[in-house]
Amino acid sequence: MNDRALVCDGVDVHLGGVQILRDVTFDVRPGESFGIVGPNGAGKTTILNVITGIVRPTAGTLRYGDTDLLGTAPHRMRGHGIGRSLQSTQYFKDLTALQLVALGRLPNSVAGALSFGAHRRRRRTGGSQPAAEALELLGLADHAERPLGELSSAVQKLVDIARAVVAGTHLLLLDEPTSGVSAQERGMVSDALDRLRGLGRTIVLIDHDPGFVTGNCDRLMAMNFGQVLHVGEPDEVMNNETVKRSYLGEKEERHDGNA
Partner 1 sequence: MTARTPKAGEGPLAGAVRALARPGGPTRALLGGALLAGAVYAAFGGPFINLIGQSCAVFAIAALGQSILMGSAGQVAFSGGAFMAIGAFTTGMLSGTPLEPFPIPLVAGALIGWAVGLVSGLPGLRFRGLYLLLASLALQFIVLSLAHTYQSAHHPAGVLVPPLRLGPLDLSSGRALYFTLLAVLAVVYAAAWAVERTGVGLAWRALRESEVAAAVSGVDVTRWKLYAFAASGAVTAMAGSLFAYLVGRADYQSYELALSISLITMIFIGGIRSRLGALAGAVVITTLPYLLQNNLSVWLGGLGLDAGWYAANQSQVNAGLFSLLFLLVVLFEPHGVEGILLKAERAVRARSRHRTAGGAS
Nearest distance from residue 259's CB to partner 1, in Å?
A: 36
Q: Are 54 and 86 in contact (CB under 8 A)?
A: no
Half-sphere exposure of 188 (CA within 13 A, CB side): 20
Nearest distance from residue 91's CB to partner 1, in Å?
A: 4
Q: Which is nearer to partner 1, 205 or 238 (CB)?
A: 205
Residues of this chain that bind partner 1 (CB under 8 A): 52, 54, 73-75, 77-78, 83-84, 86, 88, 91-92, 94-95, 99, 102-104, 106-108, 110, 112-117, 119-120, 123-127, 163, 167
* Residues making up the chain, counted from first to last: 259
Residues with Cβ within 8 Å of 55's Cβ and at least 6 positions away in sequence, in order, are 13, 15, 46, 49
Q: Are 227 and 19 in contact (CB under 8 A)?
A: no
Q: CA-CA distance, 195 to 105, in Å (whole number)?
A: 21
Q: Which is nearer to partner 1, 52 or 178 (CB)?
A: 52
Q: Which is nearer to partner 1, 174 or 229 (CB)?
A: 174
Q: Which is nearer to partner 1, 120 or 254 (CB)?
A: 120
Nearest distance from residue 161's CB to partner 1, in Å?
A: 12
Q: Which is nearer to partner 1, 37 or 51 (CB)?
A: 51
Nearest distance from residue 84's CB to partner 1, in Å?
A: 5
Nearest distance from residue 119's CB to partner 1, in Å?
A: 5
Query: CA 205, 134, 114 angle in degrees (round to 5)?
Result: 110
Nearest distance from residue 186's CB to partner 1, in Å?
A: 23
Q: Which is nearer to partner 1, 77 or 237 (CB)?
A: 77
Q: Measured between alpha carbons, how far is residue 140 from residues 111, 125, 133, 156 in Å?
A: 30, 19, 10, 10
Within 10 A of 259 (CB to CB), how many other CB atoms are there? 5
Residues with Cβ within 8 Å of 255's Cβ and at least 6 positions away in sequence, in order, are none
